[in-house]
Amino acid sequence: MGRRSERLSKQGMIASDLAGVGDVIQVVSRAFDVLRCFEGHEARLGNLEISNRCGLPRSTVSRLTHTLTRMGQLVYLPCDQKYRIGPSAVAMSTSIVQGLQLRNLIRS
């Protein structure tokens, strides 16, 4: 749980602030925690690696990766028994980047 709290603090959100907010849905927060594990050079991760990075139980990670795979956010690689970022996650991030670029052009 410490790792998750550290990551939230780095993003400008303090974990204690989240604990007091009633409109934060824990499963959504955890799903984004799983997706953030794929930042940087780590392209393929297994449930155990994700569990260690997020500080979540392996059973929870397993359910989240299954759901994220069904949604296209992750892709399961059976030969490696690992996951990688899926097409839906890439499309979502591309849309965000394009929106930022457009906003920067408008400001110029």
Inform me whether the pLDDT recorded for 102 exceeds 90.
Answer: no
Strands (E) located in 30-87: 74-77, 82-85
Dist CA 17 CA 19 (whole Å): 5
- Residue 85's CB: how many other CB atoms inside 10 A? 19
Q: Strand, coil or helix: what is 45?
A: strand
Q: Does domain 2-107 have CATH number 2.40.128.50?
A: no
- Using CA atoms, how far residue 99 sits from 12, 39, 90, 92, 104, in Å, is 22, 20, 14, 11, 9
Averaged pLDDT of the chain: 79
Inform me whether the pLDDT recorded for 71 exceeds 90.
Answer: yes
Inform me whether the pLDDT recorded for 82 exceeds 50.
Answer: yes
pLDDT of residue 101: 64
> pLDDT tier at 94 (50, 70, 90 boundaries)?
low
pLDDT of residue 40: 72
> pLDDT tier at 49 (50, 70, 90 boundaries)?
very high
The stretch 72-94 carries a mean pLDDT of: 88
> pLDDT tier at 27 (50, 70, 90 boundaries)?
very high
